[in-house]
Structures are given as C-alpha cells and as structure tokens.
Amino acid sequence: MRKQPYVCGLDAAVDVIDGKWKVLIIWALNHQRCRFGQLRRLVPGVSEKVLAQQLRELEADGIVHRESYDVVPPKVEYSLTELGDELNAALGPLGAWGKRRMAVLEEAGQG
C-alpha cells in the first residue's frame, strides 16, 4: 500500500523508487525496450519473483509500460513511460554523486 499524504515532493519520489531494485530497473530500461529475461541479465542478483513484483509496482506508478504481443510464444516488453524518462533524468545527478562517493571510498581503501 502506498504511503500518503506526502510531506514533500522528495517523499513522493522516494515512495516510487523505494526498494533495492527499482532504480536499477529504471536504469536498465533507459532508452531501450527489454523483455523480462533481458532485464534479469541487466539487473544481476534480482530474483524472478522480485523483478516481477517491482515491475508491477513501477507499472502501477506510471513509470514502466508493459506491452504484451499476441504471438506464440508470448512476448512481453517493458519500457519507460514519459514519466519514467523524467524520473530517470532526475536520478542522473544522484548517480553522479554516487560515482564520486565510490571513488572517495576506493581511495580510502573502503571500496
């Protein structure tokens, strides 16, 4: 269940990306459509169950679009919506900060 009412915009944003895998799923879908198996390879360590759950939540939040094709065998592709593209762009500075943090930790012998 979604947490509401939100205290601020950051609270609402964090609610959408909450969880270990959602940011990595959004990153993997940057500028490309992916099938479920492709996403599993692009997000190593995520289980099928958790990936499916996180994709459903991102779809419910309007971040991910699920396209199902009427073919045999069944084909489903995932992509970012316009809102998902905006969120991915907003996460860019956070990723850049994280890279700088990784470099600092590595220099200190902690990374």
Compare 108 and 28 and report the one with higher pLDDT.
28
User: How much is the pLDDT for 108?
Assistant: 87
pLDDT in tens, 48-106: 999 999 999 999 999 999 999 999 988 999 999 999 999 999 999 998 999 999 999 98
C-alpha 44, offset from chain centre: 13
Host H or E run for residue 52: helix 48-60
Q: What is the pLDDT of residue 6?
A: 84
**pLDDT at 32 exceeding the cut of 50:** yes
Mean pLDDT (whole number) for 12-19: 89
Has domain 9-109 been given CATH number 3.30.70.2860? Answer: no
40 pLDDT more than 70: yes
Q: What is the pLDDT of residue 31?
A: 83
At residue 109, the pLDDT reads: 84
pLDDT for residue 2:
64
- Rounded-to-5 percentages of helix, strand, coil across the chain: 55, 15, 30
